[in-house]
């Protein structure tokens, strides 16, 4: 009697997700219209709130991330052209970016 339902393989890793058809949710690239979008997200983060900033020029990402982290007093990172701040800091981040001359829109709920 063989077990035909393979759950884990050292070649492919965990196969349960592939079998169920669940795919990773991919982030949409930020439109290049010159508007910086600040959003609050919880999806895919195990219930933890993260503030995301998209649409910043790639040359200013690291500097803006450091400035926003200091201003909001929180941790964060830069991932795939997006600044992620731990916690809900939409209003603080948007106000700081406006004071630096960016056109800012609050996105999401």
- Count of CB atoms within 10 A of residue 94's CB? 19
Decide which of 76 and 7 is more confident. Answer: 76
Classify burial at 61, counting beta carbons within 10 Å of its beta carbon; exposed 0-12, middle 13-18, buried 19 or more: middle
Q: With a cut of 60, say whether residue 8 has pLDDT above it.
A: no
Nearest CA to 96 out of 78, 62, 70, 61 is that of 70
What are the pLDDT digits (tens) for 19-52?
444 444 445 555 667 889 999 988 877 878 899 9
pLDDT in tens, 51-89: 999 999 888 889 999 999 999 999 999 998 899 999 999
pLDDT > 70: what percent of the chain? Answer: 70
């Amino acid at each position: 009697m063989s077990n035909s339902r393979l759950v884990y393989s050292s070649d492919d890793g965990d196969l349960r997700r592939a079998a169920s058809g669940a795919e990773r949710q991919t982030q949409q690239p930020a439109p290049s219209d010159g508007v910086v979008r600040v959003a609050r997200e919880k999806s895919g983060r195990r219930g933890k709130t993260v503030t995301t900033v998209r649409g910043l020029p790639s040359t200013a990402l690291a500097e803006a991330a450091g400035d926003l982290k200091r201003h909001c007093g929180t941790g964060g990172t830069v991932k795939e052209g997006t600044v992620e701040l731990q916690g809900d800091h939409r209003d603080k981040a948007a106000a700081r970016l406006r004071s630096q001359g960016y056109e800012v829109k609050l996105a999401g709920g």
